Structure 1
């Protein structure tokens, strides 16, 4: 027996097997439900249950509190339908989700962007080019069955690189990987990974992408390597000639954490509708930092006390994304459905004791 899951207001529906998480069932049938970690840690997949019964698997309190659950909210990543269910998710808008595929990837180049950020360019198969939205991510499939997720930092139109030495253009995706000391994958990236190494990846994943059909001005909020999908969105805007007003707030602990500051300033010269506010939280005297300081999400509120007519695209550390979501809605009047986010949840975040 299967259960029918209907998503309003789009009217999209799919079937979930007994014991199958609703998110997994939706992905399997091409329904673009929002999600981030897929492990009950970030809350990106949280949506309102309009009817039906859902049982939750292990998850963290910060992702779904007991109070929110009592109000009818569910996490689709660990929520299992016990009957037919109707959900409300305004991010599910169309049937155009790109297929998720597994494929080999060859390391094309490695470039340090800062002391702890590596730009990894992967060459993908040329015979069946992967399609994705700017802002989405892929997962590395490790040999022990573990997975690691990283956003594509280049827009889809830049996937095919120019031919080299007369050869055919190669599909290349760019990733920004931060070193997490002790992390089995990032330790490898920063110590032993070499060009031409073969890895396996799967994607595209995620519902974090620009909503092209809105005329609203945008706030682009990034912390750390959360800049990667924002970079892809900026490239997409430039390529598509999108001239909506957009202000990028990029936060780091010290100035060197804003590892592509020069690149952004180059874009400003060609995109008069794009504005940039770098924010540093822990500058030292030796940094001679004269720009904005403090928490990056708070800098947005200082400049935009009223966000009721805006869209916000936020990506980075869960504490930044979660704080922004709460404060922008509660204090600045941002409509909840106009906050689009992708939390970068590390394995350490996922390891916290679930409820």
Structure 2
């Protein structure tokens, strides 16, 4: 059976099959509901059920609490329905401008940039082009039907290859192959572009870019896209890692800071060891932002990395620094271990 979903306040409508999630149906129909992980972990797709009811598949409690669900809130990425629905959600303009494609790609290089991070470079077919927004991601389609998501680290403005930053997760289905068996010229299939984490170009507000670990990948794409646009908007990048080696493109960030008059870079290391000889900032990366910018009321924030970093940043920036909640854009990197909790 097929059911009708109506989105408030826009009035947009789309059909949803009985075995389909509300988010999947919206993406298929080109309706721009916000989303990130698509698997009940990040909470980006949370909205309200105004009329009707949904059934939720497994999800993380921090993404949708029992109290929120009782109050009518829903995670649309894991919500199905057996009747027509009216939902309330803030739609994302521009999220469906580019077609979602399934494409083959060829591995052209696997460059180790840290003990547990590689830059994977992919060449697309000569007659194909992937259009996407800086910050979006792709999903690799693995042979067993499973999928793994990675953000594009290259800006969407050129005709060159795609680059991805991949951290080794011991025992990880995909990353074990990347680090141990994958070779140049191997073929990988993916689907994309996906996600509503991307640069909003219709604002002139200063931008705070917050990254932890390989959350730097989509942030890098955003910075390079801003450079391509010759945007005058101020950019402040805070990149956090446990050890200095986790800031695997520190030299690139320092070069941006030296060459771009509107760009500042603050590296933050939370667990430096004596032999690191670290002389920079310490502690949690989002706390460094609070120390430097106690008033974020006139800023936009783009945060990407571990869920605990993203969640803490959103809470504290909104509560302590007067950041408008709608100006916090985030992509929480969730692993299979996160989802199993």
Q: Distance in 2 between matches of 1:147 and 1:32?
A: 22
- Please give the residue correspondences for 1:246-325 in structure 2 after superposition, counting only pairs within 5 Å: 246-325=235-314
Asked if structure 2 preserves the Cα contact closer than 8 Å seen for 1:30 and 1:99, the reply is no
Of 176, 196, 200, the match for 1:211: 200
Q: Distance in 2 between matches of 1:283 and 1:41?
A: 29
Residue 341 of structure 1 deviates from its aligned partner by: 0.7
Indicate the residue corresponding to 1:176 in structure 2.
165
Asked if structure 1 preserves the Cα contact closer than 8 Å seen for 2:208 and 2:238, the reply is yes
Q: Distance in 1 between matches of 2:320 and 2:191?
A: 39
Indicate the residue corresponding to 2:144 in structure 1.
144
Of 235, 238, 241, the match for 2:227: 238
Q: Distance in 2 between matches of 1:126 and 1:15?
A: 36
Query: Does 1:30 pair with 2:16?
Result: no
| Residues matched between the structures, number | 341
Asked if structure 2 preserves the Cα contact closer than 8 Å seen for 1:31 and 1:97, the reply is no
Gaps of 5+ in 1: 162-171
Cα distance, 1:96–1:148 mapped onto 2, change above 3 Å:
closer
Q: TM-score, normalised by structure 2?
A: 0.95
Indicate the residue corresponding to 2:129 in structure 1.
129
Q: Distance in 2 between matches of 1:93 and 1:346?
A: 28
Indicate the residue corresponding to 1:225 in structure 2.
214
Name the stretch that deviates more: 61-70 or 266-275: 266-275
Counterpart of 2:174 in 1: which secondary structure?
helix
Cα deviations across residues 25-72 of structure 1 (Å, max 9, x unaligned)? 011112232222211122121123344422222211111001222333
Asked if structure 2 preserves the Cα contact closer than 8 Å seen for 1:153 and 1:176, the reply is yes
Residue 98 of structure 1 deviates from its aligned partner by: 1.3
Query: Does 1:48 pair with 2:37?
Result: no
Q: Distance in 2 between matches of 1:11 and 1:244?
A: 34
Name the stretch that deviates more: 139-148 or 7-16: 7-16
Counterpart of 1:265 in 2: which secondary structure?
helix
- Aligned-residue RMSD, C-alpha: 1.6
Asked if structure 2 preserves the Cα contact closer than 8 Å seen for 1:49 and 1:87, the reply is yes
Name the stretch that deviates more: 82-91 or 58-67: 82-91
Cα distance, 1:218–1:7 mapped onto 2, change above 3 Å:
farther
Asked if structure 1 preserves the Cα contact closer than 8 Å seen for 2:59 and 2:339, the reply is no
Indicate the residue corresponding to 1:98 in structure 2.
98
